[in-house]
Structure 1
Amino acid sequence: MEYGNFIDWYNALAKPGWTPSPQFIGLVWQTLYPIILVTFSFVFVQALRGKIPRILVIPFIVNLVANIAFTPIQFGLRNLTLAAIDIVIVWASIIWLSYKIWPHYKLIALLQVPYFIWVSVATTLQLSITVMNW
């Protein structure tokens, strides 16, 4: 996929007036990804060490897979509806993983708050773009 081609496609979509710039969106993700990396890695390591039940990693895996899938769905497939469903899964899985890890590591759950806030904005944006371009 050619870079300019997907930018042209995205720029041509109807979007709400409050849509953040692509540069701002990139900056937010550059800030969030290290938090996600450290906190998710911590949970995976604790599960491997037997400090927490291994089943607790399931919502983290669901979130990671859905998060990684968003860009190929949105920009590769250019499927707004599927991207909207995917981002709702990302959003819901943040709630799920925070709820499940809270009894074991409250700090890990609290560190998901910025991620949850941003994904709430991104979900609202994606749903808006999807509806506006139906």
Structure 2
Amino acid sequence: MTWRDCYDALDKPTWTPEPSTIGLIWQILYPVILVTFGYVFYQVARKKIPWPVAIPFAINLVANIAFTPIQFGLRNLPLAAIDIAIVWGTILWAMKAVWPHRRWIAVAQIPYLIWVTIATVLQFTITWNNW
């Protein structure tokens, strides 16, 4: 079975966005993530921002990158739900950590936080429905 066949076979809520819509949203968010996270890592390397500020950004990147292989490679819904919860939590943590240093970075994360909030509720619903 392809990843798409498996995804289509899942019991999903009626409000689930189409995969093409999900892809489009990520195509919009990834450049924002690239610029803002890259800026934080660059400023940390230049010692303009304390290094602990980069920790939630780094964890977020790892968890974000891990989601697709977990969800569509391993096809492990509970682990994908835990992973997306980590993504969500580290966005909040990153926003709080960077706020005293570069408020615009925290504000720029708002669309990412909104989308990941929706994605987290969706993932938990799909996990529950298919347990």
Does the alignment reach a TM-score above 0.5? yes
Corresponding residue for residue 123 of structure 1: 120
* Aligned mate of 1:108, from 99, 105, 112: 105
- TM-score normalised by structure 2 residue count: 0.99
Deviation of 1:122 after TM superposition, in Å, equals 0.2
Identity between Structure 1 and Structure 2 (%): 62
Q: Please, what TM-score do these two structures have when normalized by structure 1?
A: 0.97
Q: Which residue of 1 aligns with 2:64?
A: 67
**One-letter amino acid matched to 2:58:** I
Aligned: 1:20 with 2:20: no
Aligned-pair CA distance for 1:26: 0.2
String of CA shifts for 1:70-91, please: whole Å, max 9, x gaps.
Answer: 0000000000000000000000
Which residue of the partner structure matches residue 79 of structure 1?
76
Work out the number of aligned pairs and report it.
131
Q: How many angstroms apart in 1 are the aligned matches of 2:83 and 2:77?
A: 10
**Divergent runs of 4+, >4 A:** none
SS state at 2:2 partner: helix
Pairwise CA RMSD of aligned residues? 0.7
- Cα distance between partner residues in 2 of 1:58 and 1:72: 22
In 1, Cα distance between equivalents of 2:105 and 2:52: 16
**Structure 1 runs not aligned, ≥5 long:** none
2:90 match: 93
